Amino acid sequence: MGKDKLPSKPNIFLLLLLFLPGNTPLNTEPQYMVLVPFLIHTDSHEKICIQLTYLNESVTLSATLEYQGENRSLIDDVVSGKDVFTCIPFSLPKSNSTSVAFLTVRVTGDTLQFKSRKSVLVKNSESLVFIQTDKPIYKPGQTVQFRIVSLDKDFYPLNEKFPFVYVLVSG
């Protein structure tokens, strides 16, 4: 390509600039977004995050979790800012089995009305148990030394005690 010639292939950077919005107005309609894990573990710290954008009035924000026949209010607050992002921590007690909970989020104002109801799975936290011996193979009569380590789902150590440990000898 010489100095006086135009490039034969379009430059991708310039091509991408054509797709960027120019004088188009921004979307200023009120919007909301709710972030919550699909799988919630009992007895662990979970959180729900809510984002509200382009608010043009004060609204009441409420989030309720229906779990095991009871309604638990996570937040019930008046929001007056234009843009809001908040995360609410919560935890659920252990249950007898894996179950479904329903999360309902409501945003109510003079002219605004958002409502969303979604299901989430609630499962008891399980620990990972590792048993480690001081060597891989023992000869008859040798003392076996071992330790037991219990970890949570994020591999953090748990303060879990085992009242009985049974060792089976095969051979």
Query: 114-130: per-residue pLDDT in tens?
Result: 898 999 999 988 888 88
- 54 sits in the region (left: phi over 0; alpha: psi -120 to 50; else beta) called left
pLDDT of 42 reads 86
The answer, yes or no, to whether residue 15 has pLDDT greater than 60, is no
What's the burial of 14, exposed, middle or buried (CB within 10 Å: 0-12/13-18/19+)? exposed
pLDDT for residue 34 is more than 50: yes
Has residue 19 got a pLDDT over 80? no
User: What is the model's pLDDT at position 16?
Assistant: 46
Q: Is the pLDDT of residue 72 over 70?
A: yes
pTM of the model: 0.62
Mean pLDDT lowest for which of 19-33, 85-99, 132-146? 19-33
The CA radius of gyration of the chain, in Å to the nearest whole number, is 28
